[in-house]
A and B are shown apart, each in its own frame.
Chain A
Amino acid sequence: MAEFADFYRAGHTYTQPECALWRDILYGSDKQYFWHADPYLRCCLDMNQGGAMIDLRPYVAKLYWPVGIGTPHVQDASYPFLIQANYRAGYFTHYAGEGTIRSCKLTHKGEEVDLCLTRTWAHFEKKGGTRVLTLDPVEIKFADLTVTLQTEFEFEEGSGAVKTTRCILESSDPAAKVELNEYITACYGTTEYPEDMTSVALGLKNGSEERGIRYAYRCREDEMAGGEASALVPPVETLVTLAAAGEHTAYYKEGYAFSPMFTLGAKSEIGQGEEMVTWLRLEKAN
Chain B
Amino acid sequence: MAQAGKGKLNFRCPACFMRDLDIDMFYDEDSREYYCLRCCYTGSEADVQQKNRMARFRYRAMAKRFQRFDTR
Contacts and interface: CB of A to CB of B under 8 A. Distances in A.
Contacts of A85: 37
Nearest to B26: A117
Contacts of B3: 113, 117-118, 138-141
A28 B42 contact: yes
A212 to B, nearest CB: 33
Chain A interface SS verdict (over half): loop
Which DSSP category, helix, strand, loop or mixed, fits chain B's interface?
Answer: loop
Interface string B29-62: 0000001011111100000000000000000000
Contacts of B2: 139-141, 146
B37 A91 contact: yes
Contact of B37 (A48, A138, A141): A48
B48 to A, nearest CB: 14
B38 A86 contact: yes
Contacts of A138: 1, 3
Interface in A1-31: 24, 26-31
A124 interface: no
Nearest to B33: A29
B65 to A, nearest CB: 32
Nearest to B28: A119
B4 interface: yes
Contacts of B39: 27
Interface residues of A, number: 25
A90 B37 contact: yes
A94 B40 contact: no
Interface string B15-28: 00000001110101
B35 A48 contact: yes
Contact of B24 (A27, A28, A92): A92
B23 A92 contact: yes
A27 B40 contact: yes
A104 B62 CA distance: 45
A94 B23 CA distance: 9
A241 interface: no
A61 B9 CA distance: 44
Given A94-B22, A141-B2, A29 B37 contact: no
Interface of B: 1-5, 22-24, 26, 28, 35, 37-42
Interface of A: 24, 26-31, 48-49, 85-86, 90-92, 94, 113, 116-119, 138-141, 146
23 contacts: A24-B40, A27-B39, A27-B42, A28-B42, A29-B35, A29-B40, A29-B42, A48-B35, A85-B37, A86-B38, A91-B37, A92-B23, A94-B24, A116-B37, A117-B26, A118-B1, A118-B3, A119-B1, A119-B4, A119-B35, A139-B1, A139-B2, A140-B3
